[in-house]
C-alpha cells in the first residue's frame, strides 16, 4: 500500500503545475456519479449531455464476511492512513 501511495504522490507532484482534474471514486462518484461527470465536463469546457450511468457496487457483502483473515488485516491497518478502507 505504501508503494501505491508513493506512486500516486509522484503523479500528484508531476501534475501539480499542469492544468489537471483529480477525481476519486469516494469523493466524486460513489454518492452521485453525475457530480463527477459535471466536474469533468466543466474542466473540459464542454456542455454536459443527458447521460445514463450504469454502475453498481461490485461487492454487496461486508468485508468481514469475505476476507478470511479480516481481524488480522484490521489490526495491521488500524493505525495507518489505510484504516478507512475497512469501513463498509
pLDDT in tens, the chain (88 residues): 889 889 989 999 999 889 999 999 888 988 889 999 999 999 999 999 999 888 777 888 899 999 999 999 999 999 998 898 888 6
Residue 2 sits in the same domain as residue 42: yes
Residue 16 sits in the same domain as residue 47: yes
pTM of the predicted model, to two decimals? Answer: 0.62
Residue 60 sits in the same domain as residue 43: no
Residue 67 sits in the same domain as residue 41: no
Q: Which domain holds residue 78?
A: 56-88
Residue 44 sits in the same domain as residue 80: no
Residue 2 sits in the same domain as residue 38: yes
What number of other Cβ atoms are within 10 A of residue 74's Cβ?
Answer: 14
Residue 71 sits in the same domain as residue 47: no
Amino acid at each position: 500500500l505504501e508503494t501505491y501511495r508513493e506512486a500516486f504522490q509522484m503523479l500528484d507532484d508531476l501534475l501539480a503545475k499542469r492544468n489537471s482534474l483529480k477525481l476519486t471514486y469516494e469523493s466524486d462518484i460513489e454518492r452521485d456519479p453525475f457530480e463527477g461527470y459535471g466536474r469533468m465536463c466543466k474542466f473540459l469546457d464542454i456542455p454536459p449531455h443527458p447521460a445514463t450511468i450504469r454502475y453498481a457496487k461490485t461487492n454487496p457483502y461486508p468485508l468481514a464476511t469475505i476476507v478470511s483473515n479480516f481481524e488480522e488485516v484490521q489490526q495491521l491497518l488500524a493505525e495507518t492512513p489505510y484504516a478507512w478502507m475497512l469501513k463498509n
